[in-house]
């Protein structure tokens, strides 16, 4: 049975140093008490018993369940190899529907547009979450009227890459905009919200969203779109205060991209 114990002299080893922790409330197990070497969890930390007495316990902290928070920073051109798969993962069906044309793939377009300024995909619009030197999350923001100029730049990138097939790509893009519409006036619009599979459920998406809201503090209404088939993301956004304002459906071309909820949050 676990039992609570007031430890009057607990020595905890962290990164090569020993720290005394006087009067630490910890919850150990009976096995930990009588079996040096036993590993236990206490207060979110993992300990290994070295020695034990009623008034003197020595333990080594071997790891922590508390994650180091990621660094949220502006994206760089050099992040392309790591962030572009994240951007794609934010809406793979939509990316495929619009930008797959002949032998050109969505990744061909994303790589081209990301590295150039003045378009909706540019690295200059994005922020990333970096953890231990790796990009593990992405997000961007748009506002009006600057979004209109960025859209024109995106059209130029489509023409440059797809040549004579550019009209087909742009037609599908306009069709998609009936579901995922351009940002409304006086709103901060968030998009390309994605976290790598191995780093999900660690609060990174929440930190990205909160950072963008603080970074753009002049805006009192925050907006985003989310696939109606992504219940985890919907639940997160609702927890953060976003409310579904509208649900848009691809009537007549179902299956190409999913229905999307348009959500807003008032600050």
The domain spans of the chain are 2-64, 71-266
The yes/no answer on whether domain 71-266 falls in CATH 3.30.1220.10 is no
pTM for this prediction: 0.76
Cα separation, 88 vs 27, in Å, equals: 45
- Who's near 252: CB < 8 A, 6+ residues apart? none
Instruction: Please report which helix (H) or strand (E) contains residue 156, including its range.
Output: helix 146-162
The pLDDT of residue 252 is 85
Nearest to 89 by CA among 185, 253, 199, 221: 199
- Who's near 168: CB < 8 A, 6+ residues apart? 101, 162
Phi, psi angle pair for 116, to nearest 5°:
-120, 145
The pLDDT of residue 33 is 44
The pLDDT of residue 28 is 42
pLDDT in tens, the chain (267 residues): 333 333 334 444 444 444 444 333 444 444 444 444 444 444 444 444 444 444 444 444 334 444 688 999 999 999 999 999 999 999 999 999 999 999 999 999 999 999 999 999 999 999 999 999 999 999 999 999 999 999 999 999 999 999 999 999 999 999 999 999 999 999 999 999 999 999 999 999 999 999 999 999 999 999 999 999 999 999 999 999 999 999 999 988 888 999 999 999 999
% helix, strand, coil for the chain, step of 5: 35, 35, 30
The pLDDT of residue 255 is 85
């Amino acid at each position: 049975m676990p039992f609570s114990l007031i430890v009057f002299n607990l020595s905890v080893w962290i990164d090569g140093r020993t720290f005394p922790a006087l009067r630490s409330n910890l919850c150990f197990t009976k096995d930990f008490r009588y079996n040096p070497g036993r590993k236990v969890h206490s207060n979110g930390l993992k300990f290994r018993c070295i020695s034990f007495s009623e008034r003197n316990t020595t333990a080594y902290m071997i790891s922590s369940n508390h994650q180091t928070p990621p660094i949220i920073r502006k994206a760089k051109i050099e992040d392309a190899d790591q962030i572009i798969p994240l951007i794609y993962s934010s809406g793979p069906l939509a990316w495929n529907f619009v930008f797959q044309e002949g032998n050109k793939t969505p990744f061909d377009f994303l790589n081209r547009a990301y590295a150039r300024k003045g378009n909706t995909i540019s690295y200059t619009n994005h922020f990333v979450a970096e953890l231990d030197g790796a990009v593990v999350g992405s997000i961007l923001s748009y506002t009006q009227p600057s979004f209109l100029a960025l859209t024109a730049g995106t059209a130029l990138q489509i023409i440059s890459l797809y040549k004579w097939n550019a009209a087909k790509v742009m037609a599908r893009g306009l069709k998609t905009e009936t579901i995922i519409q351009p940002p409304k006036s006086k709103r901060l619009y968030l998009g390309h919200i994605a976290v790598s599979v191995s780093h999900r459920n660690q609060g990174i998406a929440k930190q990205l969203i909160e950072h963008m809201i603080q970074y753009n503090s002049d805006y009192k209404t925050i907006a985003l779109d989310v696939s109606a088939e992504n219940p985890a993301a919907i639940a997160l956004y609702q927890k953060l205060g976003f409310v579904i304002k509208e649900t848009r459906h691809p009537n007549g071309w179902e299956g190409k991209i999913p229905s999307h909820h348009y959500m807003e949050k008032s600050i």
